[in-house]
A and B are shown apart, each in its own frame.
Chain A
Amino acid sequence: EPEVTQTPSHQVTQMGQEVILRCVPISNHLYFYWYRQILGQKVEFLVSFYNNEISEKSEIFDDQFSVERPDGSNFTLKIRSTKLEDSAMYFCASSERARRQDTQYFGPGTRLTVL
């Protein structure tokens, strides 16, 4: 069964460094998402992406964040200058469409630790 994959599974970085989290969505899906989950807290929406554009973003997704689909398979989340509070599990998700009953399929997540 097709699945969303994410790399790396765990990323450790120093505060102020740039990180890029990578995702490979399910191949026929057109809509892509990033969510984050701070340890012990609920999953929070960051951004949705379609047709090479951001569809919607949350207040968390400030100028330090950017997303890109550099080729036909990868979908990346870049954090330009990481802060301690960026430490979290980052989940990528994809859906075939973005209609009312479309399922979003989540990847296994990347655990980001900022020191």
Chain B
Amino acid sequence: KNQVEQSPQSLIILEGKNCTLQCNYTVSPFSNLRWYKQDTGRGPVSLTIMTFSENTKSNGRYTATLDADTKQSSLHITASQLSDSASYICVVTRPRTDSWGKLQFGAGTQVVVTP
């Protein structure tokens, strides 16, 4: 069964510090990997999208890396802010000839940034 596993399950960090979230996937074949941010009670918001040929993608203070050989990705948050408190979800898609739309979500890492 295709799996997207994330670690840690939750994380508490001090405002201003950096943190790194991990994602391991077994989805195969693999098309692209996305990181989403989901605030409590809201819909997910896309942070980065990487194809299997990309190693890194940045979006402001968020930097995602991808190692397609080991099927691992990470999301690094630099200089965390209180507004970064959210669930960060790793999402993988499989290639299809007619639609890339079916997103396969991980369970997410709940990040809490404290003052």
Stretch from A12-20, A62-70, A72-80, A96-104 contacting the other chain: A96-104
Interchain Cβ contacts under 8 Å between A and B, 16 examples: A33-B101, A42-B89, A42-B107, A43-B38, A43-B44, A45-B102, A48-B99, A56-B96, A56-B99, A56-B102, A98-B99, A101-B32, A101-B49, A102-B100, A103-B46, A107-B43
Q: Which residue of B lies closest to A49 (CB)?
A: B101
Give the size of the chain A interface in residues (CB under 8 angstroms).
29
- Chain B minimum-CB-distance residue to A55: B99
Q: List 20 additional A-B contacts (Cβ < 8 Å) besides A41-B107, A42-B105, A95-B101.
A: A31-B101, A33-B101, A33-B103, A35-B103, A45-B104, A45-B105, A50-B99, A55-B98, A55-B99, A56-B102, A91-B43, A93-B43, A99-B100, A100-B51, A101-B49, A103-B46, A103-B49, A104-B103, A107-B43, A108-B43
Complexed CA–CA distance, A92 and B57 (Å):
26
List A16-67 residues whose CB lies under 8 Å from chain B.
31, 33, 35, 41-45, 48, 50, 55-56, 58
Evaluate whether A4 and B43 lie within 8 angstroms (CB atoms) in the complex, with A56-B99, A56-B101, A101-B51 already known.
yes
- CB contact under 8 A between A98 and B43, given known A41-B107, A42-B89, A42-B108: no
Number of interface residues of B (CB under 8 A): 26
* A93 contacts across to B, CB distance below 8 A: 43
CB nearest neighbor in B for A50: B99
Chain A residues proximal to chain B, CB less than 8 Å: 4, 31, 33, 35, 41-45, 48, 50, 55-56, 58, 91, 93, 95, 98-109
Does any Cβ of A come within 8 Å of B29's Cβ? no
Interface residues of B in 10-44 (CB under 8 A from A): 31-32, 38, 41-44
The residues in B between 60 and 115 inclusive whose CB is less than 8 angstroms from any CB of A are 89, 93, 95-96, 98-108
B95: nearest chain-A partner, CB-CB: A100
